Amino acid sequence: MQTMDSFNFAGKKAFVRVDFNVPLDGDFNITDDTRIRAAVPTLKKILSEGGSVIIGSHLGRPKGVDETFSLKHILSRVSELLGVDVDFANDCVGEEAAQKAAALQAGQALLLENLRFYAEEEGKPRGLAKDAPEAEVAAAKKAIKESQKEFTKKLASYADVYVNDAFGTAHRAHASTALIADSFDADHKTFGYLLQNEITAVEKVMNETEHPFTAIMGGSKVSTKIEIIKNLLDKVDNLILAGGMTYTFVKAKGGKIGNSIVEEDKLDLANSIVELAKEKGVNLVLATDAKIADSFSNDAKTDFCPVNEIPDGWEGLDIGPESEKTFAEVIKNSKTILWNGPVGVFEFENFEVGSRKVGEAIVDATQKGAFSLVGGGDSVACVNKFGLADEVSYVSTGGGALLEMIEGKVLPGIKAIRGY
């Protein structure tokens, strides 16, 4: 399989699928350009060798052409970071795009308009009524799959080589993330630096593990993490479960959780996870105390109490000092660390301490030689907020893609290039 370093891009046009799905404010200013900066090494490598790039991406979840989600809002920043004047095509498969792609010279770049302006990118019909007859739905699905083939063929026609550098969408079998790869032989498709680094980091954690291996899983619902938890129980030595899901486990054991978030229909599931961890010899670590509040607000009255003795009218919004010490001790003695999800409502300054302490413990372990992978939107936001991103081994740009890899799933965007 080709790599970015083995392929010579001189005189070649590369269609590069990136993930420029960046947040914009009300005036369409970029508030976090991390995803754009992450793709710069791949794009610069191609341009520096005398190649040209056709950049494809999505932005948001438009249901058709919508100026709010136009990639023209990010054009100037892309040009600034690449150090070249990036041209823009007002469509991704129209005549203008084809002409501009054909006219590209060595060292030039073209940014296509939002790929998701077309339903063909995702391959799902749009505009169907919720109560549409089955026959109508089936016909619409068949039609979109046929038009998707032409859409994909058009994108592929712009380039000599396909580069996928969008880990954030690698779990989607979309036209530009997976199907397009079939238009290129094995010598003319490859992963960009970002995607290859993501694959390497996740596989190092999951397949080349140094023990003790500790995973910290946060989040409000145990139901959304169940497949990940089950897969991790076959690999980890320690599993720290925190965040809002804590209170489902506490209530399942008969504890008092006040007004804390809970999945009432998942109490048996929580107990089964506890038993499964015991069977597999995994040290399952849950909070023993909590920082509680009398309302879901940064300005709420606060107190500390045992996690199973939260008074009525109060809710747990962060771990307490006892849990901070317990979590940190486990983390600092680990050789491999995976962090997905904060342990409290870190967006509120008064409830950020637990997540900060976890991040600092991960940094300590990393400095002692551990490999640490931080991934999933909120945990990434945590390390960025606390200024710790440069002090862990790897920060993943993928949300759903990372979680599916941890679950053990094969991602379409990866399989399309390397075959598995």
| Number of domains observed in the structure of the chain | 2
Same domain assignment for residues 343 and 386: yes
Same domain assignment for residues 74 and 215: no
Q: Which of 103-107, 182-186, 229-233 has the lowest mean pLDDT?
A: 229-233
Domain boundary among 196, 222, 248: 196
Mean pLDDT value across residues 315-332: 98
What pLDDT, in 10s, does the model give residues 255-307? 999 999 999 999 999 999 999 999 999 999 999 999 999 999 999 999 999 99
Tell me what pLDDT residue 11 has: 97
Please check whether residue 49 lies inside any domain of the structure. Answer: yes
Tell me what pLDDT residue 377 has: 62
The helices-and-strands tally (H runs, E runs) of the chain is 14, 17
Please check whether residue 418 lies inside any domain of the structure. Answer: no
- Cα–Cα distances (Å) from 178 to 175, 206, 262, 361, 416, in that order, read 6, 23, 38, 38, 5
Three-state secondary structure call for residue 132: coil
Tell me what pLDDT residue 407 has: 84
Catalytic residue set: 35, 221, 377, 400
Both tokens of 340, joined, read 């997905």
Same domain assignment for residues 116 and 215: no
Please check whether residue 420 lies inside any domain of the structure. Answer: no
Mean pLDDT value across residues 10-31: 96
The average confidence (pLDDT) of the chain is: 96
Band the pLDDT of 44: cuts 50, 70, 90: very high
Same domain assignment for residues 263 and 387: yes
Tell me what pLDDT residue 400 has: 86
Residue 125 domain boundaries: 13-196
Mean pLDDT value across residues 333-339: 97
Tell me what pLDDT residue 39 has: 97
